[in-house]
Amino acid sequence: MWRSDGYGLVIEVANGQAQTYETTSLSCMPEKPSPLVSGADPTGAVSFGRHDQPEETLRRTSATQGELRLLGTAADIDLVAIPAIPAECTHPMAKDPLTTFDTFWANLAENYNSTVRKHVDWNALRNTYRPQVNANTTPAQLYQIMINMVQPLGDAHIEISGPDDDNYEGFRPGTRYTDGPGGIKKKAAVTAVDAHLHDLGVRDIRTWGNGNLAYADLPDGRGYLRLTAFQDWDTKPDSYLARQALLDQVLDEVFSDAHVKAWKSLVIDLRYNDGGDDELGLSLAGRMTDHPYPAYTKIARNSPTDPTKYGRARVVTVAPTAGRPHYTGPVRLLTSDLTISAGETFIEAMMQRQPAVTRVGTTTQGVFADNPDRKLPNGWTVSVGNEDYIAPDGRNYEGPGIPPTTTVPVFTPDQLGSHQDPALDLTTNTP
């Protein structure tokens, strides 16, 4: 039996399965058990998952310590052996509105990474809103209370699933995240960009992964690679390993010997990117270097009472993809406020790449942490990010986002309506 350092997880390994519990000081919610998928690999890691697909690995590093890796994430989670699961995990939790509220509050109070930097007093919010909740509070009322509490955080990684399939997603004030004011839908953005590519003379835009991956040769000898997500690629099965296999196939085609030798430069379009698996971004970065280099450093909040205390730093590295062609010429990244999460960690993974990468567009959304859904007693979920990503330049862009090297408006109404794309034009017209 193990407890994670931060993350609020307890894992019981017994009878050929791993049972994970999401815990706070007030709650314990069991996840679905994950059966054993494969025995120990050369590193000693044992895989658990569902439908014969590994989703996580556990590895004992000493008699009392271990490591957990959630596949698709960029670093391990430290584990400490415990003698027994917490007492609150041995019986079901009540599902009433007040218990649900308290569990919701505790999940953010004990895990969330940004209340201090955003100057939000989470305890004060509890004192304001908890008196409004009682046994007669309706689901709609409780859901709105939760939304009212998290809106001041302006965080696109906070999502709440509510009644009647409602789903709240936050966003940084002043940005156009999909569900925010002036939000832009992916199809509209992609359609506008493709129309401009056609205006430039592009006739063949190849797509993969439910349209989330696209490549085209630009007429001036440059490559154009677009990624609108690092997830939801319609793979069968829908797993990280299946997505990695698809990405490897796509990158083998895109980063061919012929392309790598012929490209004058490569434009990577992340202006609309929903995020997903950080590991996939590292795989992409590995096709564009001949030498390993640091991508970023991950640290996770590990004190339920002190929001400024973090566990040990995990340095994540970009490694050249073995046995495949590498492109080492100029790279230009297109970014915007619709670049989120794994789209942003990929940008950080390119910061130390040589020659230096230029970024054209607008500032990214500003959310980096893994944000798994946390169960609430009434069946809803809330996602909470508890990690910070420190970029190679030493800065933490959680909140403000990563600024471009050159600022160019992206996806304005005029641009969307008339096939204009000044950000792409700038990259293709710059030596």
Check pLDDT > 80 for residue 403. yes
Instruction: Using alpha carbons only, give the angle 4, 6, 8 rounded to the nearest 5 degrees.
Output: 70
Are the beta carbons of 272 and 189 closer than 8 angstroms?
A: yes
Burial class (CB in 10 A: 0-12, 13-18, 19+), 60: middle
Cα distances (angstroms) measured from residue 228 to each of 4, 189, 216, 428: 32, 10, 15, 20
Q: What six digits make up the tokens of 430? A: 């710059």
Provide mean pLDDT across the span 255-262. 97
If we measure between CA atoms, which residue out of 138, 133, 166 comes closest to residue 149?
133
Strands 65-70 and 358-361: unpaired
Over residues 91-108, the pLDDT tens digits come to 999 999 999 999 999 999
Band of residue 307 on the pLDDT scale cut at 50, 70, 90: very high
296 or 179, which is more confident: 296
Higher pLDDT among residues 181 and 409, named by residue: 409
pLDDT at 51: 85
Q: Which two tokens stand for residue 113?
A: 């990474």
Q: Does residue 214 register a pLDDT over 90?
A: yes
Question: Residue 40: pLDDT band by 50, 70, 90 thresholds?
Answer: confident
Cα angle at 259 between 258 and 261, to 5 degrees? 70
Q: At what angle do helices 122-129 and 139-150 cross, to 10 degrees?
A: 150
Quote the percentage of the chain above a pLDDT of 90.
Answer: 93
Mean pLDDT score, 256-282: 97
Q: Is the pLDDT of residue 195 over 50?
A: yes
pLDDT band, very low/low/confident/very high, at 183 (cuts 50, 70, 90): confident
pLDDT digits (tens, 9 = 90+) for 323-360: 999 999 999 999 999 999 999 999 999 999 999 999 99
Q: What pLDDT was estimated at residue 427?
A: 79
- The predicted-structure confidence for 349-388, as pLDDT tens digits, reads as follows 999 999 999 999 999 999 999 998 999 999 999 999 999 9
pLDDT tens track for 4-30: 999 999 999 999 999 999 999 999 999
- Counted residue by residue, the chain has a size of 431
pLDDT band with cut points at 50, 70 and 90 for residue 176: confident
Give CA–CA dist 424/415, Å, rounded.
12
Residue 431 in this model has a pLDDT that exceeds 50: no
Looking at residue 179, what is its pLDDT? 58
pLDDT bracket for residue 392 (50, 70, 90): very high
| Three-state secondary structure readout of the chain | CEEECCCCEEEEEECCEEEEEEECCCCEEECCCEEEEECCCCCCCEEEEECCEEEEEEEECCCCEEEEEECCCCCCEEEEECCCCCHHHHCCCCCCHHHHHHHHHHHHHHHCCCCCCCCCCHHHHHHHHHHHCCCCCCHHHHHHHHHHHHHHHCCCCCEEECHHHCEEECCCCCCCCCCCCCCCCHHHHHHHHHHHHHHHCCCCCEEECCCCEEEEECCCCCEEEEECCECCCCCCCCCHHHHHHHHHHHHHHHCCHHHHHHCCCEEEECCEECCECHHHHHHHHHHHCCCCEEEEEEEEECCCCCCCCECCCEEEEECCCCCCCCCCCCEEEEECCEECCHHHHHHHHCCCCCCCCEEEECCCCCCCCCCCEEECCCCCEEECCCEEEECCCCCECCCCCCCCCEECCCCCHHHHHHCCCHHHHHHHHCC
Question: What integer is the mean pLDDT of 129-136?
Answer: 98
Rounded to the nearest 10°, the torsion over CA 271, 159, 35, 73 is 40
Q: What residues contact residue 105 under an 8 Å CB cut-off, 6+ apart?
A: 122, 126, 130, 149
Please give the residue that has the higher pLDDT: either 51 or 35.
Answer: 35
| pLDDT bracket for residue 408 (50, 70, 90) | very high
